[in-house]
Amino acid sequence: MSQTKCLSQSSVHDFLSARKRSSTLIAIGVMLCIFSPITLLILISLTRLDILASSINFVTGIGVIVLILLVAAAVALFIAGNHWLKVHENFEYEECNLSEETKEQVLKLSKEYENQHLVLKIIGITFCILSAIPLMTGSLFIGSLSNSRIDDLMTGLSTATIFLVGIGVFFLVKTNIVRDSFNIILQIEDYTAEKKASKKIIEKYATIYWMTISFIYLAYSFISKNWSQSWIIWPLAGITYGILEAILSLKKKKSISE
């Protein structure tokens, strides 16, 4: 059996640097997608609470324009981030053989990043936990306001929840991309040689899945004009994707063992 050639130090360095650049771009893009319905929800809430003297159709139009602008900006960032993800993209799906010297260097960089990863992860999770507070605050007004008023108030308060979630997700996405870059090279945790093979299959369907979800979200929102609640599609889609990814990984692992 022929010896597999080891990855060069320069290619490993280029890969890690590119992933670090892409992490910020993609994290901001995800955050903008999460933030995109905030303006719409605030305007709808303020109008229904009679704080803004505008028609629902007018504020909905403004909100949708802002939503589209933020999504467009996010897509631009995703494209830019994807450009850097393409640098030695094969490392993510193929076996990475390292010389002892290169492996030691990557291990050292990984350990140096561990503390920063922990801090960013704690910040991200903390923001996600705090995101429940605005909606819990709204429940304090139950009984003092009519049901319709409570719904309108909760719509407005949900924007604070979305904002906090967006910030939390930014930190989590950014640090996980950087940390995963080390794991890809070292082939540990979610990037063992076995798991890399299954990820290649999953990635083929990921683009189709998220494009379908985007179509469903926009189609439902425009037809029903229920923008104040249709955003729930995204967290549900994220959970569903995680479940599907786990199922496909298990099937791939089972087929390999057989």
pLDDT digits (tens, 9 = 90+) for 77-125: 999 998 998 888 888 877 888 888 889 999 999 999 999 999 999 999 9
pLDDT at 25 over 50: yes
pLDDT number for residue 249: 66
pLDDT number for residue 116: 95
Of all residues in the chain, what percent carry a pLDDT higher than 90? 38
d(CA 25, CA 34): 14
pTM equals: 0.78
> Domain map of the chain by residue range?
9-189, 192-258
Q: How does the average pLDDT of the chain come out, rounded?
A: 84
Poorest-pLDDT segment among 68-72, 181-185, 204-208: 204-208
Q: 144 or 166: which carries more pLDDT confidence?
A: 166
d(CA 187, CA 197): 12
d(CA 17, CA 115): 19
pLDDT number for residue 252: 60
pLDDT at 54 over 90: no
Mean pLDDT of 194-222: 77
pLDDT at 49 over 60: yes
3-state helix vs strand vs coil in the chain, percent to 5: 85, 0, 15
| Terminal CA-CA length for the chain | 23
Mean pLDDT of 21-41: 92
Number of CB atoms found within 10 A of residue 150's CB? 16
Amino acid symbol at 117: H
pLDDT number for residue 177: 93
Query: Residues with Cβ < 8 Å from 102, sequence gap 6 or more?
Result: 6, 7, 8, 9, 12
pLDDT number for residue 2: 40
Q: 40 or 205: which carries more pLDDT confidence?
A: 40
Q: Which spans in 86-192 are helix H? A: 100-130, 132-138, 147-186
pLDDT at 235 over 80: no
Confidence band, pLDDT 50/70/90 cuts, at residue 1:
very low
pLDDT at 57 over 80: yes
pLDDT tens-digit profile of 172-190?
Answer: 999 999 999 999 998 888 7
